[in-house]
Structure 1
Amino acid sequence: MFSSTGYGAANAYRQVSAHSGVENASPHQLIQMLFDGLFQSLNAARGAMERSEVEEKGRHISKSVRILQEGLVMGLDLEKGGELAANLKLLYDYSVAQLTKANIHSDVVLVEEVIKLLQPVAQGWKEIGPTANQTM
């Protein structure tokens, strides 16, 4: 039905579009994108666990861990951020530990715990959006 060339072109377009969105995003928007991707992956992992899809579960948990470690933790400025940044790092590290356990034991409850812990942080980040953009 679709040629591999057409599929490759469509995939390339999606990658360029996503890359452009990242390049044009403010630092605040980048963090928001990370949270959006994180929750999408966590919900996909939860669904994969419920369907006993081990490979999908592992893929989505791994993506969630990478977002936490390579995106959110690496984005913290522990020197300038003080106690808040230190507490966020502890929360993100705890979330990674819980997701690791969730992956090993296929424990949906641990994934749901991480979602519940991080939702207020993401919501707070979203709420400071207009204020942050005005002061930048």
Structure 2
Amino acid sequence: MYYSRLSGAAPSARYGQIDLAGRIENASPHGLVAILYEELGVSIQLVAGCRNPQLQAQALSRSLNILQSLDGSLDFERGGEVAKTLSRVYEEARRLLLAGVREGELEKIQAAGGIIAEIAESWKQIG
């Protein structure tokens, strides 16, 4: 998943991936979710800004994978309505991303990014 970002990447990009790996290794469960939100935001920005269809597809795939990871980490038994609501939000973000790319509507991609940015900011404030 991360290797596609490294192939042919500049040294600074490779360093960024090493830094990310270190952050993941030392993160608490709350911190891991924060990292996922951060990486999802970056991926969505790449989807929105990329005009190369192949690179956009890679960024979209990464975004969808992160959304799936976030959704899969929800505990519906203990999380109750919050978990159900987050699952619906992640589904809406997936829908907006896919529709935005398919229909060439940047506004939908940006809306997905806005949704995730809002949740990420709330998550930071909890921690």
Instruction: Measure the CA separation in 1 of the matches of 2:75 and 2:62.
Output: 22
Alignment equivalent of 1:102, drawn from 87, 100, 104? 100
Unaligned runs of 5+ in 1: 1-6, 130-136
Moved over 2 A (4+): 10-21
What do residues 1-32 of structure 1 show as CA deviations (whole Å, max 9, x unaligned)? xxxxxx9xx79877665433212110111011
Instruction: Measure the CA separation in 2 of the matches of 1:105 and 1:88.
Output: 25
Instruction: Give the direction of change, closer, same or farther, for the CA distance of 1:127–1:20 in structure 2 (3 Å limit).
Output: same
Which position in structure 1 is the counterpart of 2:65?
Answer: 66
- Give the fraction of aligned pairs with identical amino acids, expressed as a percent: 29
Cα RMSD over matched residues? 2.1
Which position in structure 1 is the counterpart of 2:25?
Answer: 23
Instruction: Measure the CA separation in 2 of the matches of 1:43 and 1:17.
Output: 20
Query: Following superposition of structure 1 onto structure 2, how do residues 17-56 of structure 1 map, counting pairs within 5 Å?
Result: 17-48=19-50, 52-56=51-55
Which position in structure 1 is the counterpart of 2:112?
Answer: 114
Unaligned runs of 5+ in 2: 1-7
Letter in 1 for 2:39: G
Instruction: Give the direction of change, closer, same or farther, for the CA distance of 1:14–1:53 in structure 2 (3 Å limit).
Output: closer
Alignment equivalent of 2:75, drawn from 74, 77, 81? 77
Letter in 1 for 2:114: K
Instruction: Give the direction of change, closer, same or farther, for the CA distance of 1:37–1:14 in structure 2 (3 Å limit).
Output: closer
Instruction: Give the direction of change, closer, same or farther, for the CA distance of 1:55–1:69 in structure 2 (3 Å limit).
Output: same
